Amino acid sequence: MTACSCSNEVSEKILKMMAESGAHLTGHFKLTSGLHSDNYMQCALMLRYPKYAAYAGAELAKLLEPYKPEFILSPALGGLIIGHEVARALDVPFLFTERVDGEMRLKRFPHPGALRFALVEDVCTTGKSSREAARILADGGAVWAASGCIVDRRAADCMPEWDLKSLVKVCFANYSPEDCPLCREGLPLVKPGSRPDAK
């Protein structure tokens, strides 16, 4: 499939970093959403290089700064590096949620109270992990002020009302398991994400 990205210098640079680091994979993948695809954006392969992580964090911070977040929140595991880099660029604290017995929780930190936060993720396909993480904080009284990611790969009909800031927008086909042409071809299925299998 062909990627369609925002036609600007930052998007082009991020796509170049993804290519150079081997972060854009092709094959037969099970996404964390449970959908299948022939493309996978493994941002960890790009973020393993500190200079790439710093660049992405600084650029994403510029998009989120107008919303004046008082801390950054990311879901583990994918959002950890980029969330920390965004927080560094904005000079605000960084918190993360993680799964405990299959449920997203704010395990290692006290709830910060009624502060404004920006949710930061590496790749967003359906936003399930992101929304889970944000709801924990919002339900406790924090203000979900903004959302951002490195790569937005949502389908056009997936939460179009969600104002998700991204450095790159890509358009790849996603398939339900029962309608996946890659499964019909018998291609081996790989699940590189960090979330347990979707039911």
pLDDT digit string, tens, across residues 6-54? 448 999 999 999 999 999 888 999 987 788 999 888 899 999 999 999 9
Q: How far is CA 114 from the centre of its chain?
A: 24
pLDDT for 193: 60
Question: Computed from CA positions of residues 5, 63, 160, 121, in that sequence, does the dihedral angle turn out positive or negative?
Answer: positive
Helix H or strand E encompassing 94: strand 94-100
The tokens describing 196, both together, are: 């347990």
Which pLDDT tens digit goes with each residue over 44-82? Answer: 999 999 999 999 999 999 999 999 999 999 998 889 999
Domains and CATH numbers, the chain: 9-184 (3.40.50.2020)
Alpha-helical (H) ranges within the chain are 9-21, 43-47, 50-64, 80-90, 128-139, 181-184
| Measured CA distances, 116 to 61, 113, 138 (Å) | 15, 9, 9
Q: How confident is the model at residue 198 (pLDDT cuts 50, 70, 90)?
A: very low
Integer-rounded Cα Rg, in Å, for the chain is 16
Question: Does residue 2 have a pLDDT over 50?
Answer: no
**Stated pTM of the model:** 0.83
Which pLDDT tens digit goes with each residue over 98-124? Answer: 998 888 899 999 999 999 999 999 998
